[in-house]
Structure 1
Amino acid sequence: MKKRFYVISILILACGLLNAQNWKNPSEKYKNAYKKYLNASCPVPQDTIKHFAYFSRDRALIIDHLFLFESEFEGAQIMYSWKDLEPIKDQYDFSIIKKDIDYLKRFDKKLFVQLQDATFSIKYNAVPNYLLTDEYGGGAVMQYNDDKEPEGWTAKRWNEKVQKRFALLLRALGDEFDKEIEGINLQETSIGVSSKTDSSFTEMAYVEGIKNNMLALKTAFPNTKTMIYANFFPGEWLPFNDKGYLKSIYKFGENIGVGLGGPDLMVTRKGQLNHALSQMHEGRFTVPLGIAIQDGNYISKTGADKDYEEDKVNKKRKNIVPMLNAFAKDFLKVSYMFWANQKPYFEEDVLPCLSNK
């Protein structure tokens, strides 16, 4: 009996020490998760993931692109700005989407639409000009990075009048393309805005605005895969400053049938690991999950990083595409992967690994 009591005491002590260690540094909970997949190799085994080539707004690049001739790719993900689709209030122009659908069909490929209402360039605002008036509270606002430098624009997603105009755009798109496209996703929730940079902004209004946009998306596309890139929220930083914003979006998406995911498959960075990636890993979902491998991700960078130059890539780099795919399949359990058409990685790393020829 004493021996049994001793063993139990040791186990309790060990669990206590483990919990103490986790409490001391909970941000490192998944920092080594990727190592399980380091031995993955090319070619990537066939699985149930639907792979798409991502072209951002460079839609002209799909013409005669190599992915068109690879059966492993379901199609292309292309970004279309709100401004391009509604140049004048209530006058919609979806001709470029129709053109891309028709072209992809020639190769038995599908289109996955990404709807742009935010940018990462101070030179381009994706919101229609008619919204940039007092009637809509200015419609859009400048975004700022952590160094308080301007880095782009975002629609005022927290403004109810802007939300209503966005819902009308979604409804028009749904009337035209529901069942015609593979899917449609809203951009990432991460924005560089606070009440200090815009007095009309509040954290709760932003969260509710995102939910309203998600519901409008699902209502407009009842027969098409819908998704939102839910990664970060202003005023919240997991796991230390958890206000429930991001978690509520993942719960809401599951409840209303909107898929969830994020940009930047960064398996070694705590920021991504503790937000979108952990939400996907820890949740139990019936909605589709998706992850994008965007510019820089092929060498564990993001488009915001300034410590590398794309035209000076190390040719002896390690191809991490097999590891990323294995991580996404097993750890995240995604249904969709969106591979950025970034040179030279897409042609030199992605295509050889995903091809079964």
Structure 2
Amino acid sequence: MSELNTSLAGVHAAIGALLATADGVGSAWKVPRAPGTVSGIACPPPPLAAARRGIDMRILGWTLTAALTGCVSVNAKPVHHYVFFGQDREKIAKASSFLETNALEGAQVAYSWRQLEPEKDAYDFRIIREDLAFLTSRGKKLFIQLQDVTFSESRINVPLYLQRDAVYNGGADKQYEFKEGDEEHAVVAGWAARRWDPAVQQRFHKLLSALGREFDGRIEGINFAETAVDFGETGRLFPKGFSFEIYRDAIITNMQALKRAFPKSVAMQYGNFMPGEWRPTNDKGYLSAVYQAAKESKVGVGGPDLLPFRPGQLKSSYPLIREAAGIVPIGIAVQDGNFEDINPTTGKRVEISELVKFATEYLNVDYVFWGTQEPYYSEDVIPFLRRVKMATLSRGALP
């Protein structure tokens, strides 16, 4: 019991640190979870200070369980663990740790639109077929990420015919990064497909239909890349035909087309941020509209980063992801940099167990896509998952 009290003292210190953060992550959290008991352990009531700050006690409940065990009542369901290989598909066959770890159900591989449609209406799915055949032979599954954006000025992921035919307005547009309010000195940060352009959409939807005819029901799922793009706020950097509202509607239209093409496999949209708003302080309803449409259309949702201690994520997409859990499939990716995030309470690098607990106990995910950033993948992720005796992790059954 003394160990329990010691842990509680440490957790309350962590809560105090969160409360002391001026307008940090707290103001976005709302509904308190009633105290209770699980497995004979009494869960402490919500601190009064937290309630006054409007902090969601579900998050604080997660903080408690990170130090104790079992104070958050959850319904056990299997969580499917995949490795995100990105576009490095050639690594799969050589990835012995991946192939030999039973808890890893499959690979998430990114394929660009440019790879899959090298010429107009001439689809080339050979690399998908090869990856699917190999993974199936090793008892693994394939989850496709369809990549239409890049984060490099020198790389464009849409087919050449879109770039060359004027009817498609270049097929893709530059996106930017800049200091707040200084669009005049913006720097090119990559290229985004013209998702909102009706002519480009028509071609994209044809690709989805072709993919669905061959792979629906054969692959575990397919997801779109993140909703976030950055063309500034003033209109100075806006591409032709772009507006925040048009972009919102295009995201919804495209993910509905994905679901029509893949009624059997999981269809998922990564939704992290939307241009033209910053939740919750400048919430225009763009991202929430995407999530609402996803729930209505039975499209899975999630995001490209698992960052439990970042106010940006905690206030923007994470509450929407949690609300969608149990209605549609939920996925979260642990990508480069996520393993290096610092827990502000401990001052130490986030642990794999903390990432898993947050993903499963707060976000209530169905899928975790683990990045291969070294040394964390080999030294932390694989050993952690190998301690699991079953092929999947279930909530409340962490090693």
TM-score, scaled to structure 2: 0.76
Partner of 1:256: 297
Partner of 1:137: 169
Change (3 A) 1:101 1:205: same
Identity of aligned residues (%): 43
Aligned residues: 320
Q: Is the 8 A contact 1:319 1:349 kept in 2?
A: no
Of residues 212, 228, 237, the one that matches 1:174 is: 212
* 2:316 aligned counterpart, secondary structure: helix
1:146 deviation in Å? 3.3
Partner of 2:7: none
| Alpha-carbon distance in structure 1 between the residues aligned to 2:119 and 2:67 | 53
1:105 deviation in Å? 1.1
1:342 deviation in Å? 1.1
Q: Is the 8 A contact 1:40 1:326 kept in 2?
A: no
* 2:317 aligned counterpart, secondary structure: helix
Larger mean Cα displacement after TM superposition, 118-127 or 139-148: 139-148
Partner of 1:270: 311
Partner of 1:196: 236
| Alpha-carbon distance in structure 2 between the residues aligned to 1:156 and 1:243 | 22
Partner of 1:247: 288
Deviations 1:84-122 (CA, angstroms, capped at 9, x unpaired): 000100000000000000111121000000000001111
Q: Is the 8 A contact 1:218 1:258 kept in 2?
A: yes
Change (3 A) 1:232 1:23: closer
Partner of 2:78: 48
Of residues 276, 288, 306, the one that matches 2:329 is: 288
Of residues 184, 191, 201, the one that matches 1:163 is: 201
What aligned pairs does 1:110-121 form with structure 2 within 5 A after superposition?
110-121=141-152
* 1:89 aligned counterpart, secondary structure: coil
* 1:61 aligned counterpart, secondary structure: helix
Partner of 1:104: 135
- Structure of higher RCO (CA pairs closer than 8 Å, 6+ residues apart): 1
Partner of 2:47: none
| Alpha-carbon distance in structure 1 between the residues aligned to 2:284 and 2:93 | 45
| Alpha-carbon distance in structure 1 between the residues aligned to 2:172 and 2:359 | 34
1:25 deviation in Å? 6.9
What amino acid is aligned across from residue 269 of structure 1 in structure 2? R
| Alpha-carbon distance in structure 1 between the residues aligned to 2:68 and 2:138 | 30
Structure 1: runs of 5+ lacking an equivalent: 1-17, 302-316
Structure 2: runs of 5+ lacking an equivalent: 1-18, 30-54, 70-75, 180-185, 343-347, 390-399
| Alpha-carbon distance in structure 1 between the residues aligned to 2:115 and 2:65 | 41
Partner of 1:328: 359
Q: Is the 8 A contact 1:260 1:287 kept in 2?
A: yes
| Alpha-carbon distance in structure 2 between the residues aligned to 1:22 and 1:353 | 34
1:27 deviation in Å? 4.6
Partner of 1:4: none
What amino acid is aligned across from residue 157 of structure 1 in structure 2? R
| Alpha-carbon distance in structure 2 between the residues aligned to 1:30 and 1:72 | 32
1:196 deviation in Å? 2.0
Q: Is the 8 A contact 1:37 1:327 kept in 2?
A: no
| Alpha-carbon distance in structure 1 between the residues aligned to 2:292 and 2:151 | 28
What aligned pairs does 1:67-78 form with structure 2 within 5 A after superposition?
67-78=98-109
Of residues 156, 176, 187, the one that matches 1:125 is: 156
Change (3 A) 1:277 1:122: same
1:39 deviation in Å? 2.9
Partner of 1:8: none
What amino acid is aligned across from residue 339 of structure 2 in structure 1? Y
